Amino acid sequence: MMRLKGFLAICVFIGSMFCITPISAQEVQNKGKLVIIGGGSRPSAMIDRIIKESGIDKSGYGIILPMSSSEPDSAVYYASKQFIEKGLKNIYGLNFVKDELLTTSKVDSIKNAKMIYISGGDQNRFMDIVAGTDIEKAIHNSYSNGNLIAGTSAGAAVMSKMMITGAELKHPEYASTFRNIDADNIEIGTGLGMLTNVIIDQHFVKRSRYNRLISAVIEHPEMLGIGIDEATAILVSGSNAEVIGDSQVITLKNPKGSKNVHDDKLGAHGLQLNIYLPGEHFSLN
């Protein structure tokens, strides 16, 4: 086995050495799956798929992490409701507050969960509580151990390492849709980093969030921009993403690293846009 620029290649010697196609080190390390939901309603078939992929109908348990929400009890109730309606009784809410003294039992409850579901709300609120803590480590441990991590809306935004906060640096008044494609405007925070080479955006088609994802891939051309619409998700296994749900997933790439600036307005050439429908697959590499 040899390492090539962050990739692992399996090499065999039969007279001479040859290598099987490289796969990313992240893909080797992480054995679990991600379900990244663009917000809005969750179709019944999507819940069925989460149950099937996690196996919580057979054994183990699932937990709801509601820290994105300003009303965590309500977030737990609504997030667990559809699972309970499917007959599951092994779904539990587990809330944390900032600077909480973490007990081993609560951290282990995350680490050993077969499904972890992160509610919607404010991704910045969630990361302010979990960043750099044993909560964050436990989520990664669970994923590495083969379990499923799901999140909707804010819970989708936190999945990527480079996280869209929702704020504009040059236009501080909040608007759900960016009205500009400006240089140095999009605010980026640090998410959980379940995926390190993408930027996730949510409520994408419904709220016409093209401008901010376009801005993101121009400013950060090494990233794949993924816009997930409401009632829609991507199921990530290794480097493969499958679209599930009712609507579309948009991907944006800036393969040439193109970036031009004129009077603060961003320009770029050769951007690539793809629109994926339910049942279709695409690569995250």
- The stretch 9-38 carries a mean pLDDT of 56
Domain spans, the chain: 1-29, 31-283
Residue in 221, 210, 209, 219 with CA at minimum distance from that of residue 253: 221
Percent of the chain residues past pLDDT 90, beyond the cut: 83
On the question of pLDDT at 5 being above 50, the answer is no
Q: Which helix or strand (DSSP H or E) is residue 11 part of?
A: strand 11-14
- The stretch 251-263 carries a mean pLDDT of 97
On the question of pLDDT at 207 being above 80, the answer is yes
Q: Identify the weakest region by mean pLDDT among 38-52, 139-153, 174-188, 262-276.
A: 174-188
Residue in 253, 251, 252, 246 with CA at minimum distance from that of residue 277: 246
Determine contact, residues 199/187, Cβ cutoff 8 Å.
no
pTM: 0.88
Label residue 175 by pLDDT band (50, 70, 90). Answer: confident
Distance CA 2, CA 22 (A): 9
Residues in the chain: 285
Q: What is the pLDDT of residue 30?
A: 53
Determine contact, residues 155/118, Cβ cutoff 8 Å.
yes
pLDDT per residue over 258-271, tens digit each? 999 999 999 999 99
Distance CA 229, CA 42 (A): 11
Determine contact, residues 72/66, Cβ cutoff 8 Å.
yes
Which residues, 6 or more positions from 168, have their beta carbon under 8 angstroms from its beta carbon? Answer: 175, 178, 180, 185, 186, 187, 212
On the question of pLDDT at 18 being above 50, the answer is no
Buried b (16+ CB within 10 A) or exposed e, 91-121: bebbbbeeeeeeeeebbebbbebbbbbbbbb
pLDDT per residue over 69-99, tens digit each? 999 999 999 999 999 999 999 999 999 999 9
Cα(first)–Cα(last) distance of the chain, in Å? Answer: 20
Look over the chain and give the mean of its residue pLDDT values, rounded to a whole number.
90
Superfamily designation of domain 31-283: Class I glutamine amidotransferase (GATase) domain (3.40.50.880)
Label residue 240 by pLDDT band (50, 70, 90). Answer: very high
Which backbone phi and psi does 269 adopt, to 5 degrees? -120, 145
Determine contact, residues 210/261, Cβ cutoff 8 Å.
no
Q: What is the pLDDT of residue 105?
A: 96
Longest dimension (CA), the chain: 66
The 3-state DSSP class for residue 142 equals: helix
Determine contact, residues 50/118, Cβ cutoff 8 Å.
no
- The stretch 173-202 carries a mean pLDDT of 91
